[in-house]
Amino acid sequence: MLALSALQLERKSKALPTSTSLSLYQWAIHLLVPLLHKRSTLTLASCVILCVFEMSSCSPKAWRRHLDGCASLIMALDIRGDQGGIEQSLFWCFARMDVCGALISSERTLIPIDRWITSASSDTIHGQHRFPTVDFEDHASHVCYLLAKVLSLINGPRSVPPRNGVQRSDLQGNMKPEGWHGLFNELEAWYRGLPTEMTAILSIPTDPTSTTNPFHTLMFSSGAAVAGNQLYHTAMLLMLAVKPKEVSVESRSRLWHARQICAITISNDHHGAWTNSIQPVWLAGQLMSSPVEHRAIINLYERIERDTGWGATWRVKDLQAHWGDLT
């Protein structure tokens, strides 16, 4: 925890030397290595915290290399997202990092989807598992699970190198309509079943003449609500990009979901949700066409990095390359 706190202070101030966080990190590793063979919950907690440190300090495109060991430990301990206690909390803390890493690399999550919840706690209805939901925070975890299922669906064993984060042309011709439709229905059921705590507490349409704020205001009362809604719109953005041509469904457009992602992220400043928003905003930003929208997204990335110390502006260069002359 000291290493992680020191790293954030160093990244935010820019004036502090990086030696403090590095020495604390190395000392934490020194203390942890002799305990790894015990495979205890306390050891796992330390590994998860160090994963957060590594995610913040390394190149995002190398995230999966740092997450792999922790994923193996979670599976060795058979920890899942529905067993309660600190083990459940640790699972979901890691699961969100796993999903973010999978989004960046356009791959499946390191923890296979069938290891996320136990079959005993899920009801099978028409071949689909019903996620065990107790409160609104469980509802937010549910959509993280659904997004992991989306990543498993679109990043199959025959996936080709991605273009803009989605293998659209390859998958539209090979995806089974029933598999896509079943997962789409699960996502729609999640959104229709939003508990009150997960719905927006304030929604203000944008001023169409504004040159600084092209997105509407959409505020939520908790980090779980912010992150949950972000992940839902991200999942729908990915799903609609690979919709089989023979499937016909009533749905909002990809652009609508993309604008929701941007609006939610700009309107709410929960730091935990911000660190999970880097990739969703990148996916959404690719659909934005006006310079005003581009500037708002660039300002958002700069604000996230400035306020949290979490690396975010690396995605600005990727978006500017995608936008080309429109920036």
pLDDT at 71: 94
Phi, psi of 214 (to 5 degrees): -80, -5
Q: Is the pLDDT of residue 26 over 70?
A: yes
Secondary element (H or E) of residue 202: strand 202-204
Task: Report which of residues 44 and 64 the model is more confident about.
Answer: 44
Position 159 confidence tier, pLDDT thresholds 50, 70, 90: very low
Tokens 């973010």 appear where?
Answer: 100
- Measure the CA–CA gap between 235 and 188, rounded to whole angstroms: 11
Tokens 């306020």 appear where?
Answer: 307
pLDDT at 94: 95
- Measure the CA–CA gap between 123 and 125, rounded to whole angstroms: 6
- Measure the CA–CA gap between 265 and 255, rounded to whole angstroms: 15
Extents of the domains making up the chain: 1-110, 133-327
The DSSP letter of residue 206 is: -
Q: Is the pLDDT of residue 301 over 60?
A: yes
Least trusted range by pLDDT, from 204-213, 214-223, 264-273, 292-301: 204-213
Q: For residues 226 and 268, is the Cβ–Cβ distance under 8 A? A: yes
- Provide the token pair at 157: 């064993």
Amino acid at 158: R
Q: Is the pLDDT of residue 118 over 50?
A: yes
Q: For residues 129 and 142, is the Cβ–Cβ distance under 8 A? A: no
Q: For residues 129 and 123, is the Cβ–Cβ distance under 8 A? A: yes
- Measure the CA–CA gap between 172 and 164, rounded to whole angstroms: 15
- Provide the token pair at 264: 């939610």
Mean pLDDT of the chain: 87
